[in-house]
Structure 1
Amino acid sequence: MAENREAAGHGTLTVVRTDADGITVLGLEGEIDHQSVGGLTRALVPADSAVGQRVVIDLSRVTFMDSSGVNALIAAFQAAGNAGGWLRLVVVRGAVMRTLQLVGLDTVIPFHPTLEDALAPTRPDPGKS
């Protein structure tokens, strides 16, 4: 397991990256805006070049997100999918959730109420074949 901490921008965003069992967990705290989004995008770069990167981004301690953060999440989701992996979000209520719902991200990227839920293996839907 590896853990990296990085304060981005003007101390407005803290990113804690943990890599374990083939899943990267990014714990974010603070605000994601055009000044701090670089910390998030740097943390999204795979620790190795393995295909099929699996990423969970924990937004439960994010207090603000503008379009820079939304764009970074969309790009990360597309990159993970293109490489045969996945990206999941742990989200909170409030302004960040409203922002993500307003742009429709909740219909594209899987949202989970807790980190444990996001880390759980996906189960096939019994109604689908």
Structure 2
Amino acid sequence: MAHGRSTDTAQAGQPGRLTVRATTTDDIRVLTVSGEIDHHTGDHLRQALDVSDTARPRIVIDLSRVTFMDSSGINILIVTYQTVTEADGWLRLAAPTDPVLRILQLVGIHDLIECHPTLGQALAA
């Protein structure tokens, strides 16, 4: 797999709660999320997922370091999925931790948004 531009735009949400690192690989925006996604930290993730200035957005969200996600995170994923789909792009999820995967399966998100066991598989799909 060829690697493209990689720029670190890590932002500190609430210290110790949520960090989002954005990179670009082969014109795919990769967001590596660490911490908890809840109603306190959701705005930080929502801002990182803003695609208003992107034509045909292609996004992979690496969830391998997310320890918790509530309905706020689910809503952010659904809205982002709808936004990128309307812009003729796509959204994929990568490497969710067991607790996050259970939530995704419980609410049926894994049927709506492609979910892959590894970041590499999400990028190659």
The TM-score with structure 1 as length reference comes to: 0.87
Between 1:54-63 and 1:93-102, the stretch displaced more is 93-102
**What fraction of aligned residue pairs are identical, expressed as a percent?**
48
CA distance in 1, matches of 2:46, 2:96: 21
SS at match of 1:4: coil
Between 1:111-120 and 1:86-95, the stretch displaced more is 86-95
Q: Write 1 or 2 for the structure with the bigger share of helix.
A: 2
Match of 1:108 among 112, 119, 123: 112
Number of paired residues?
Answer: 120
* 4+ runs deviating over 6 angstroms: none
> Counterpart of 2:25?
20
> Counterpart of 1:65?
69
Structure 1: give runs of 5+ residues left out of the alignment.
123-129
Q: What's the Cα RMSD here? A: 1.4
Displacement after TM superposition at 1:10 (Å) = 4.5
> Counterpart of 1:89?
93
CA contact (8 A) 1:22 1:53 kept: no
Q: Decide which structure has the larger Cα Rg and report it.
A: 1
Displacement after TM superposition at 1:89 (Å) = 0.1
The TM-score with structure 2 as length reference comes to: 0.89
